[in-house]
Structure 1
Amino acid sequence: MKKYFILVLALVWALPGHAQLFGGESVVNNPNFDMQRFSWGYFLGFNTYDFDFDYNRYIASPATGKDYSVDRTIGFNVGLIGNMRLSDHLDLRLEPGVSFNRINFQFTKADQKTFREINSTFVHVPLLLKFSTTRINNYKPFVVGGFSTSINLSSNENNPDDNSEGQFRMTTNNYYYEIGFGIDLYLYYFKFTPSIRGIFAINDELVRDDDPNSFYTGNVDKMSSRGLFLNFTFQ
């Protein structure tokens, strides 16, 4: 998260006219942009995911303190934005998109280790409320929060094979809550918005193996994903 925050600040500072954005100059770009009832755009960005595991009983690896050791990687996001203005400081946003990512993790129990690589493609649809400050010159900070749903196109939920055949299975339909922050930057031709958002799964996403005492899933009470999105929006 700290690395993403530093990257957002660096991008803001590198934009042409940053002195105008944060200085006292009075040149205002697109002064009526936020008066539109509806506005549209698209976003590009990056993501990183991991899993949060709750266990039925503690028999985890002494080295990690967990049955599963997760290795994060960087994925890619792309999508569209529909924004409805509710008031001067409140907007309702729909941000359907697709995210691609890979999670590597190692399962350890009783000195046995199993490596899994999960490549996932999510159709991700958040419905968010955006709370903005008063615009100052050509920038306006905001916080955003809401709920989302996703379809995991790589879930393997209906695959008859399980971990005994080398297949790790997850649920196809999942639900999340989201919270984040960002800053609207009003440029000459468009509005550019870097933002950081955390997403947290509400439901259990693990599909258990057929054997209730499975070496791989028998001790897992709940598995839910957590993600961090760094998006760059153009409107």
Structure 2
Amino acid sequence: MKKLFTIALLALCFQTAQAQIFSGERVLNQQNFDQQRWSWGYFLGFNSYDFNFDYINYNPSPVTGQDFRVETRVGFNVGLLGNLRLSNNLDLRLEPGVNFNTRGFQALKADANTYREISSTYVHIPLLLKFSTNRLNNFKPFVVGGVSTSINLSSNENNPDDNSAGQFRMTTNSYYYELGFGIDLYLYYFKLSPSIRGVFAINDELIRDADPNSLYTGNVDRMMSRAIFLNFTFQ
């Protein structure tokens, strides 16, 4: 169902953009929208989170070439948008939201069952700069970049149990940089902005086990999340 919904939205965006670029249409929707100093909206979207590992001593599995296997899944994003117009082609935006995601995690160098299912709920707060081209009919591409922080409500950071008791622990607070691109589509009643963005953690998120030789944490120097967001913003 999620895949069908995404495909349908992308098809609508493509058809609208194609009509604006190639049809020669000159009827402008939302003509004064971008003249507002402040504008507001909300977004819905999807995410896919992964882990990136740096090792103390890199000695991967001879079979897989990895120490760990991460199973990525599709999660859901929802949030609000506050946009400050700085100039005709530059905006500052705040996008506080909540991201829901589940990842599968497994240590490969063991005979025992090491699989963990990591469910995360993030309160995610990005501060972004949006660089736009000039508007072409009802169509305007843009790139976006900035920094963000998140609170992992499911981190287990203060849980005294670790992986020896089946608890995988992460830091509660994380920091990221973000880069992406999208399209503003000026529809009759509102502006729709589909965008895709890469999100990359810059701090170590792993809480170590009590055992310094832990299969899960002993050889890990840094563990950082990375994600792809596909959002549809309505203003």
- Under TM normalisation by the shorter chain, which class is it? over 0.9
Whether contact under 8 Å (1:61, 1:110) holds in the other structure is no
Whether contact under 8 Å (2:47, 2:228) holds in the other structure is yes
Which TM-score applies when normalising by structure 1? 0.93
Paired residue type of 1:84: L
**Where do residues 16-27 of structure 1 align in structure 2 (5 Å cutoff)?**
18-20=18-20, 22-27=22-27
Q: Match of 2:52? A: 52
Whether contact under 8 Å (1:59, 1:109) holds in the other structure is no
- Could you tell which deviates more after superposition, 53-62 or 152-161? 53-62
Deviations 1:81-125 (A, max 9, x none): 000000000000000000000000211115555101000000000
Matched, 1:203 2:203: yes
Q: Match of 1:169? A: 169
Q: Match of 2:12? A: 11
Q: 1:61: how far off?
A: 1.4
Q: Sequence identity, in percent?
A: 72
Q: Which runs of 4+ in 1 moved over 4 A?
A: 6-9, 110-113
**Where do residues 50-199 of structure 1 align in structure 2 (5 Å cutoff)?**
50-199=50-199
Q: 1:22: how far off?
A: 4.1
Question: Whole-Å Cα distance in 1 between the matches of residues 22 and 128 of structure 2?
Answer: 27
Q: 1:66: how far off?
A: 1.3
**Where do residues 20-39 of structure 1 align in structure 2 (5 Å cutoff)?**
20=20, 22-39=22-39
Which TM-score applies when normalising by structure 2? 0.93
Question: Whole-Å Cα distance in 1 between the matches of residues 138 and 157 of structure 2?
Answer: 47
Question: Whole-Å Cα distance in 2 between the matches of residues 228 and 209 of structure 1?
Answer: 29
Q: 1:14: how far off?
A: 4.1
Paired residue type of 1:35: Q
Q: 1:20: how far off?
A: 3.6
Q: How many residue pairs were aligned?
A: 230
Paired residue type of 2:74: I
Question: Whole-Å Cα distance in 1 between the matches of residues 49 and 70 of structure 2?
Answer: 9
Q: 1:212: how far off?
A: 1.5
Q: 1:59: how far off?
A: 2.6
Q: Match of 1:225? A: 225
Q: 1:215: how far off?
A: 2.0
Question: Whole-Å Cα distance in 1 between the matches of residues 176 and 168 of structure 2?
Answer: 21
Give the gaps of 5 or more residues in structure 1. none
Paired residue type of 1:172: T
Question: Whole-Å Cα distance in 2 between the matches of residues 20 and 81 of structure 1?
Answer: 25
Q: Match of 1:212? A: 212
SS in 2 for 1:86: strand
Paired residue type of 2:157: E
Q: 1:63: how far off?
A: 2.1
Question: Whole-Å Cα distance in 2 between the matches of residues 204 and 71 of structure 1?
Answer: 20
Question: Whole-Å Cα distance in 1 between the matches of residues 150 and 110 of structure 2?
Answer: 35
SS in 1 for 2:164: helix
- Could you tell which deviates more after superposition, 212-221 or 83-92? 212-221
Give the gaps of 5 or more residues in structure 2. none
Whether contact under 8 Å (1:60, 1:108) holds in the other structure is no
SS in 1 for 2:11: helix
Say what the alpha-carbon RMSD is for the aligned residues.
Answer: 1.7
